[in-house]
With several copies, the nearest count.
Chain A
């Protein structure tokens, strides 16, 4: 296990400690609980709160997006494991500004169940909550069963849009509405070349041949659509883009935001080589790239691979996407 860690069981808590040491002006642990991270800077009074939660091992997802114009809080689980309902509840309570709390998280069994319970607990204390689950991964279920799809890097767009809407002081119903609108126009898909190792388990999440790639892989190593012989970067991008545009047709003149996301072990060079083909692919069908993120935004520790997310834009979404976001891990100040 080629990791620079201390005791495997301390992986998540030491990561959070490191983050709190580094960014004490931006993030804090609620009541000292390392599983409950909230903003340490000034949050606008009366603003709708946007919160999330999920397992560790995906930095900058999840807690890296807590900050201005994005999230207000995050419940942090162990590696690839949901935080408990109780932690989520405390986090929701700690973030509430009286305008309601939107729980915006990835569609994974454990997180779904725990957020359901946490919202029930919140309800008992008269905290208004809403839930929206992100299901952007086209590889994980058919379009008919879209609700079953899991989340991948598209989460970042969901938080970006919702976070901006909340920071503009929109009421929770409108924040939810624009977020749902964004999610309807969002699709992602990825490939994995190598597995990663959960520190406590100490062995790879799956096995794959040296000349193979897993097409449609989830960020915890969930199986994808098929294992294929290795393809070139251009072929890989075309397979992903074909599947995405089959699910959400794009036409000449459409504008999109593009994210080419590295899963943790893939060099930035390769992501730009992929972006090059995404650009050409979209140019061939006359689609205009309005904005792009290229880098590591949602990872699986040291997994090699990448995912593409496409958000179909309109004038409303542009306003929210362009709105300032600033967290210790993410900013659009240099885009």
Chain B
């Protein structure tokens, strides 16, 4: 497979949903270090809502991504749900009306997402957020010359490295910001969610 069709994207969301379920406790734990500990519950609920929403009936990638974003926003009762929603709307706009997605398109989607989040919330890379895993992965996709599976293998690794790098960062946004210097040393929960999204896509592709 070298391009993702609407059906693949829907299946990827199902995979992301089960990954979030599997990692609920880990996310709760990470978010408890310098947050309110709801991240696992929120992500699990948010992505499960997508696969139960009317997004699944859309017959166009852009529309699917937009209503999937709305579903996450509706169902996930915490900030990252809103941030993912903002990102999905921004990414979908960047994609426009497209029938299939290759690695570079996917990279553009994620970069568009990150840019929308940065524009709307004022966050930047290196501020210990989901951006720190998403942006390196998006860039890796955009620059990739490899096939789809290998491109996503690289992106997954880039996301993982970005996530690990958040350990050294000081939180500036959200509740974690209250902890200031004390937030240093802990891996960011949101960046972990970013990594898990790429892990899900890579594992989905492996099984095709």
Q: Which residues of A contact B (CB under 8 A)?
A: 55, 77-82, 84-87, 109-110, 112-114, 116-117, 200-201, 205, 220-223
Contacts and interface: CB of A to CB of B under 8 A. Distances in A.
Interface string B76-91: 0111001101100100
Given A80-B36, A200-B41, A222-B178, A113 B74 contact: no
Contacts of A221: 36
What secondary structure prevails in chain B residues at the interface with A? Answer: helix
Interface in B101-121: 120-121
A109 B173 contact: yes
A223 B120 contact: no
A223 B74 contact: no
Contacts of B78: 81, 110
Contact of A86 (B70, B77, B86): B70
A77 B77 contact: yes
A117 B85 contact: yes
Given A113-B121, A200-B41, A85 B82 contact: yes
Interface in B158-185: 173-175, 178-179
A116 B77 contact: no
Contacts of B36: 80, 205, 220-221
B139 to A, nearest CB: 24
What 8 pairs between A and B have smallest CB-CB spacing?
Answer: A81-B77, A78-B77, A84-B73, A84-B74, A113-B82, A110-B79, A109-B79, A223-B178
A86 B121 contact: no
Nearest to B122: A112
A9 B32 CA distance: 20
Interface residues of B, number: 22
Contacts of B79: 82, 109-110, 113
B34 to A, nearest CB: 10
B37 A201 contact: yes
Contacts of B120: 113, 116-117
Nearest to A150: B178
B39 to A, nearest CB: 12
Contacts of A116: 120
A114 B83 CA distance: 9
Interface in B178-197: 178-179
A201 B178 contact: no
Contacts of A81: 38, 77-78
Contacts of B74: 84, 86-87
A330 to B, nearest CB: 26
Nearest to A113: B82
A220 B35 CA distance: 11
A205 B35 CA distance: 10
